[in-house]
Structure 1
Amino acid sequence: MSHGKHFTLFSSVRAPNGWKVANVLNALGLSFEPIFLEIGGNTSDSDSHVKGPLHTKYNPNGRIPTLIDHKNNDFVLWESGAIYLYLIDKYDTEHKFSFSTPEERAQLTQWLFFQASGQGPYLGQASWFLRYHPEKVPSAIERYQNETRRILGVLESVLSKQEWLVGGKLTVADMIFVNYNKFLNFILGDDFDFAKEFPATFAWHTKVSESEGVKKTFEQQAKALAAQEEKEKAAKA
């Protein structure tokens, strides 16, 4: 593994969780080398698979993201919320995207937990039952679509009263949500109108997406996706 970069980030081209971590790395100006892993299929004996030996020697859970900090004795951490907290504790010493007070810090952590326990799992299950489950289960699809709207409703109830989630500024609490929001039309249908149904949340999502670090992440993902699609196209030729 090359240590030319500050960090190694185990990620996936298409799945959002690794890119969530890229948001913070880019916002803080920290260099990283991504290793894109396959998620589906039955190739867990391959180093290119998320459950393969290359990855699971660092992350026994075999899920992305996993981060290695080569400038801190190759410190390894997995679970995106934990990675977020580590990065701001160690590298956001000026609290540009975090806070120094215990109260604001607790509120920031609250939103990280809400994303990890609410938005991520519910949208992930919605995607599973819509695309990957071997049988169509309408009741499951309906449940997770409803939960997706409920999560958006929680955000809307807060963001209709304030510009950012915590402390009146852009923080990592805002950054952690935007990558999953890109899947809303897939989950809720092409007729879902984000701006109309949840106007404050849509406006917030747009501002976060246009912030320097997150915008760079989206550009990196678009480049990686284009390369992956070319690779897949060549393999079929």
Structure 2
Amino acid sequence: MIKLFFHPTPNSLKVALYLEEASQPYELVPVDTLKGEQHLAAFRSINPNGKVPAIDDNGVRVFDSTAILLYLAEKSGQLAGAPQDRAELLSWMMFIASGVGPYSGQAVHFKHMAPEKLPYAINRYERETQRHYEVLDAHLENRQYLVGDSFSIADISAWGWIDKGPFILGEEAMASYPNLQRWFDGINSRPAVARVRELGKDLNFKTERDEAARRELFPQNYPKT
């Protein structure tokens, strides 16, 4: 059975969504990143980069959400898109992996977590996130899905971060991207999404982002001891 090393963050949730959509049995293995469990040797043996998500597929480790989605889709043959759309699917997967995800994450960090407000950094990451949303919005005009005519891992990958759009860009921000909002509403209404949103609610994850949590989340910001 697949073990999913999990914390309820966008990248972990998108892997969980794939497993739910594909009806793949899996075991949820909690990793409390605010307590620093991602730095433990046992987890580093699964992901040397010390980030969630990661999976252990009967002894095969895969880390990074994009790699995991591609691996699972290729292995199972589910939600991988049509063969003729392969290049398009890879392009959008990498657009999300190299653009939407990291810039959204940095926007969140500098707007909501940084110990001091840095206007240049906030502007830089927020504006680039907005540009990514504009690209997606234009692409989704007259489209139901990101790639081809069916739901795929490209939609799952994008959903994980667009779900956080109101937190990243403001509660009313999505009104500026009507095609993206329509697409999101369609994905968000899927029964598997409702199941994924319940994951981890019975687990005792730390929620307070105190100094100890910040040191575990961002150890590179502190001198080595």
Q: Which of the residues 211, 216, 220 maps onto 2:190?
A: 211
What is the match of residue 216 of structure 2?
Answer: none
Q: Which of the residues 126, 137, 142 maps onto 1:156?
A: 137
The structural deviation recorded for 1:226 is: 6.1
What is the match of residue 25 of structure 2?
Answer: 31
Q: Which of the residues 138, 151, 154 maps onto 1:173?
A: 154
TM-score by length of 1: 0.81
The structural deviation recorded for 1:227 is: 4.5
Q: Percent identity?
A: 31
What is the match of residue 116 of structure 2?
Answer: 135
What is the match of residue 65 of structure 1?
Answer: 53
- Kept in 2: contact 1:165–1:173 (CA 8 A): yes
The structural deviation recorded for 1:33 is: 1.5
Structure 2 CA distance, aligned partners of 1:156 and 1:215?
24
Give secondary structure in 1 for the equivalent of 2:39. Answer: coil
Q: With CA pairs under 8 Å and 6+ residues apart, which has the higher RCO, 1 or 2?
A: 2
Give the aligned residue type for 1:26: E
TM-score by length of 2: 0.85
Gaps of 5+ in 2: 209-225
* TM superposition outliers: structure 1 runs of 4+ over 3 Å: 225-229
Q: Which of the residues 72, 84, 92 maps onto 1:87?
A: 72
What is the match of residue 202 of structure 1?
Answer: 181
For residues 171-213 of structure 1, what are the alpha-carbon distances to aligned partners after superposition, in whole Å with 9 as ceiling and x for unaligned? 11111111212222222123x241x211111010111112233
Give the aligned residue type for 2:177: F
Give the aligned residue type for 2:176: E
The structural deviation recorded for 1:214 is: 2.8
Structure 2 CA distance, aligned partners of 1:126 and 1:91?
35
Please give the root-mean-square deviation of Cα atoms over the aligned residues, in Å. Answer: 2.0
- The yes-or-no answer on 1:9 pairing with 2:4 is yes
For residues 41-100 of structure 1, what are the alpha-carbon distances to aligned partners after superposition, in whole Å with 9 as ceiling and x for unaligned? 6x4xxxxx1122121011111111111112xxx1111111111111111112xx4x2235
What is the match of residue 46 of structure 1?
Answer: none
The structural deviation recorded for 1:38 is: 2.6
Aligned residue pairs total 208
What is the match of residue 77 of structure 1?
Answer: 62
For residues 109-129 of structure 1, what are the alpha-carbon distances to aligned partners after superposition, in whole Å with 9 as ceiling and x for unaligned? 111111110111001001111
Q: Which of the residues 68, 81, 86 maps onto 1:99?
A: 81
